[in-house]
Structure 1
């Protein structure tokens, strides 16, 4: 009887460190997310990605945050989302639009905005913070916004990840390599902030987006995607969750030769 009691105590003692380890791991991930989310300008670490130029398009990228958006920028985001996503969502769009409007202005919503500078003045570009310190006309002088990425740092399946909520471009700047350029930047931001993966949701009806992520960007269907969790549930759902995880080797490749990542 006594030996059984000791055996049970030993098992309990062995379980305690495991529980403690899980708690400490969660604290470490929460701290990682907090640090990553506190950054004000994610482009500051990647100056080569401030500008994008290809035949017929010259663009400037800048950072933003959901609770700092101006009214015109909010309206632009709403209009572009409706133009690009109403079709793929179909009858689900009215309800989804309300959700996206709430998500858009959350403090944890981070942005990379793309401004078309093809017809803007050729003067020196200011950073977002510098622009805010000057006049409101500065924004217009730097060209109109033609696209954006909305992303957040979250924990999915016990892994800290960068979750891409939206990647939206106006039709006239699509097909110019800009989407790939933005996703390469996102992957760099994820690696720099020690995230384990980039995750995103794509509507099945959006065949162009599905092809872009699966074929061009080499994303795969996540284990938490409906079709992977349960094929029957997957048939009913209108979306897939895609991801790209980063090994140490992949992180090294992403973090070193910016020229290769920068190429279209």
Structure 2
């Protein structure tokens, strides 16, 4: 009995050690992903978008290194696009989002519109891992972070915002493809994001066009009989473990 007890204790210690080691490995993975200076460097072909009459150049950014004019722009675009879907809650939500947008862990992809002439010049840089000098005004952005959801390392898309005139041109899908590549490249288990239920266009975009699913951690799945929340958490799993945790409802 004594020998059996010692064996069980060793097994428990081994299990605890494995859990701690796994948790530390995930934390290091997130730190390493966040430490990358320019996630676009791995995907030089995604530095430029050309389609449906739109020519654009992409560049990376960090939340705590944004120029004043850039901060003003993203705040204004966010308000323009999201004030209506949030309704009366927008005033409080805007304060939170403004803090989130300049946090050190915030990562960005900015979309700069370029002229036809500059777009032709930009083609020279498609295979070079550096920005070109042809970028024009910002017309949209993605704000994302590397974090944990239910102990799963994920890339969380905080915002995907485009000016109205550049929507419907395939740019949103292009950016989300890039986001999924960045997530996979950095060992994340899934891409996760939050969408206002009132934003039917965005819900349709993610669920119908990009095949995202309502996550098991979304309010409508966690408590389907409880008070209805005004948002859903969506996800796309990139490995089986993330799928089992974030998509499969028990």
Give your verdict on TM over 0.5: yes
The alpha-carbon deviation at position 14 of structure 1 amounts to: 2.0
CA distance in 2, matches of 1:188, 1:142: 23
Matched, 1:36 2:33: yes
Match of 2:225 among 204, 223, 232: 232
The alpha-carbon deviation at position 55 of structure 1 amounts to: 3.0
2:197–2:232 contact (8 Å) kept in structure 1: yes
Match of 1:45 among 23, 42, 56: 42
Q: How does 1:115-264 map to 2 (within 5 A)?
A: 115-118=112-115, 121=118, 142-233=135-226, 235-247=227-239
Secondary structure at the counterpart of residue 33 of structure 1: helix
Which runs of 5 or more residues in structure 1 are unaligned?
A: 132-137, 249-264
The alpha-carbon deviation at position 43 of structure 1 amounts to: 0.7
CA distance in 1, matches of 2:68, 2:14: 51
Q: What TM-score, normalized to structure 1? A: 0.84
Matched, 1:16 2:13: yes
1:205–1:238 contact (8 Å) kept in structure 2: yes
Match of 1:64 among 61, 76, 97: 61
The alpha-carbon deviation at position 155 of structure 1 amounts to: 1.0
Q: What TM-score, normalized to structure 2? A: 0.88
2:214–2:234 contact (8 Å) kept in structure 1: yes
Match of 2:24 among 23, 27, 35: 27
Secondary structure at the counterpart of residue 42 of structure 2: coil
CA distance in 2, matches of 1:117, 1:195: 32
Tell me the number of residue pairs that the alignment of Structure 1 and Structure 2 aligns.
236
The alpha-carbon deviation at position 94 of structure 1 amounts to: 0.5
Secondary structure at the counterpart of residue 216 of structure 2: coil
Secondary structure at the counterpart of residue 17 of structure 1: helix
CA, structure 1 residues 145+236, in 2 after alignment: closer, same or farther (shift >3 Å)? same
1:119–1:143 contact (8 Å) kept in structure 2: no
The alpha-carbon deviation at position 21 of structure 1 amounts to: 1.0
Match of 1:73 among 70, 75, 95: 70
The alpha-carbon deviation at position 142 of structure 1 amounts to: 2.0
The alpha-carbon deviation at position 120 of structure 1 amounts to: 6.7
Which runs of 5 or more residues in structure 2 are unaligned?
A: 241-250
- 1:199-227 deviations in whole A, cap 9, x for unaligned? 00000000000000000000001111111
CA distance in 1, matches of 2:221, 2:79: 29
The alpha-carbon deviation at position 128 of structure 1 amounts to: 10
Q: C-alpha root-mean-square deviation of aligned residues, in Å? A: 2.1
Match of 1:111 among 108, 113, 131: 108
CA, structure 1 residues 64+128, in 2 after alignment: closer, same or farther (shift >3 Å)? farther
